[in-house]
Amino acid sequence: MSDRFDGRSASAHRRGLSRRDFLIGAGGVVLTGALAGCGSEDETATTGAGTGAAGTSAAEGTTQAAAPKQGGNFRLGVTGGGAKDIIDGQHITTKPDQARLLAGFETLLVYDREYKIVNEGLAEEVTAESPTKWIIRIREGIEFHDGKTMTADDVVYSMQRILKPEEGLFGGAGLQASLDASGVKKRDARTVELNLKRADSTVPDQLASYYNGIVPAGYTRKGKQVGTGPYTVKSFTPGQQSVHERFANYWGDPKPPFDTVTITNFGDDAARVNALLGGQLDAITDVPFGQIPVIEGNDAFKILESEGGNWLPFCMRVDQEPWNDVRVRQAFRLIVNREELLQQALAGHGRIANDIYSPFDPCYNSDLPQREQDIEQAKALLEQAGKAGLTVELTTTDGAVGMIEMSKVFAEQAKAAGVTVNVKVLDGSTFYGDQYLKWNFSSDFWGTRNFLPQVANGSIPTAPYNETHWPDEKNKRFIEMYGEAAAEVDEAKRCEIIQEMQRMEYEEGGYIIPFFNNLVDAYSAKVQGFQPARATVNLDTYARGFRTISFV
């Protein structure tokens, strides 16, 4: 599995625009409109399906598409959600929020189906004039839902809103390290400058992250939801449902095909699947593995399985007993039988990982030896640490498909090393409540990000979701290296730093990452256009704002 995975990583590197394309020095123009042609919708689709690189269900992605049918109400069922649901062009709290955000808001750059950054977003070009000065040139004549034309003022407002710590927005962590709100300046009506505090190679990643949408100047979450996306909000009831109407003046191509898109929350897995099978929905996210054969056995429905870089880690707090002893962390990593965990917890819908994240990052360190189960060594390490016969509590919740299952399987595997793992299953609101990020030993889930943006979100003290409280005292150098890597304009040198950082986490980090899980969704055969994709978000990234799909 690791060879196959490494091959994909290398393949992505060859085909994709490398980071060097973004950082070719002062005055270098990157991601211009000409380059955008390389990642046009048609060509991207051909690459993704033709090579089968982006997913495992190639059959679904290569079916001959009929002419898109205009109109109709596309009904989507999304897992989770609740009273905390929001619509905000720059923030999410639940999974249905993702779908709603993508229906109404767009980013300056976008990731394509190969997880390459392309400028099919609101920016015509993004340029690094110098390592610390980025220039964003926006497209001309793009309208917001309220009829106002998008200008540089809106982009400045959007960026500054993301950067305000008091807003607590999802994209803040990634940008705040290198950019202050005062560094975002309007140059002319279509041009914005980002004057960085220090060089930052992750800027394109931030601009392409789906949650960093562009909103009009003066936008607030409580106000009218106005974006540039293909659909406007017609109605929204948190915890239940939202209805989105086609935006007639949408700028992009293809145009939104549906009259309306209805997004419904489904807390219960069985109910969601039954609603699809019963014809009340046209597509659903997160098919429970036990239900996949049911859908596969019915010609009226199709499974969309994408090889995501998503990961479900066990999180060991490196600043607390017993995890503050690296030998205990290493022992627990050696207890894991990754293949068994993948087969039993995910029914094989994923691929083995090696305790480091960001598999789609061009700098991913695939030279590290694949860690295998070694009970004897685990026992010896625990013995050395004076922790033989250790008992720990593993806190988990039904946050993502497989989280509880992997915890149960791991608890069984740990018995072989004389370790007792008591699995404590909490409801989501408790797990992600006040105690979140304070659990001593827990499982969690993450979407796909490239390495440096992921570090900014989860692996340094300023990260908003640092479950493991990494790095410990011994590895404080990791923080400096993050700054160095982000500032490094030479891709080869940056990769060297990143790979060293990954080695540090591989050897001493607080995560156990046994596998990368696939995204498994399902849809009616009456819908066409879905393709397997390397993505962080489900259902072909919600069919790119519900534009690249249509009824047959």
- Positions that interact with another protein (CB under 8 A): 269-270, 273, 288-291, 293-294, 340, 343-345, 347-348, 404-405, 407-409, 411-412, 422-425
Cis amide leading into 514 (omega within 30): no
The nearest distance, CB 396 to another protein, in angstroms, is 8
The nearest distance, CB 532 to another protein, in angstroms, is 22
Query: What number of other Cβ atoms are within 10 A of residue 219's Cβ?
Result: 22
Q: Is 140 left (phi over 0), alpha (psi -120 to 50) or beta?
A: beta
Nearer to another protein, 26 or 270 (CB): 270
CA 272/CA 83 separation, integer angstroms: 18
Residue at 291: amino acid letter: Q
Nearer to another protein, 300 or 552 (CB): 300
Nearer to another protein, 1 or 411 (CB): 411
CA 258/CA 452 separation, integer angstroms: 37
Nearer to another protein, 92 or 346 (CB): 346
- How far is the CA of 318 from the CAs of 6, 386, 457, in angstroms? 29, 17, 17
What residue spans of 253-352 are helical by DSSP H?
Answer: 269-277, 292-296, 326-335, 338-346
Nearer to another protein, 33 or 290 (CB): 290
- Residue 535 in contact with residue 359, Cβ under 8 Å? no
For 533, phi and psi rounded to 5 degrees? -150, 150
Rg (CA), the chain: 23
The nearest distance, CB 44 to another protein, in angstroms, is 34
The nearest distance, CB 332 to another protein, in angstroms, is 18
Nearer to another protein, 123 or 403 (CB): 403
The nearest distance, CB 425 to another protein, in angstroms, is 5
The nearest distance, CB 426 to another protein, in angstroms, is 9
Q: Residue written as tokens 């004057």?
A: 195
Nearer to another protein, 143 or 269 (CB): 269
Q: Residue written as tokens 């997004």?
A: 263
Closest CA to 87 of 240, 217, 197: 240
The nearest distance, CB 335 to another protein, in angstroms, is 15
Provide the 8-state DSSP code for 289.
G
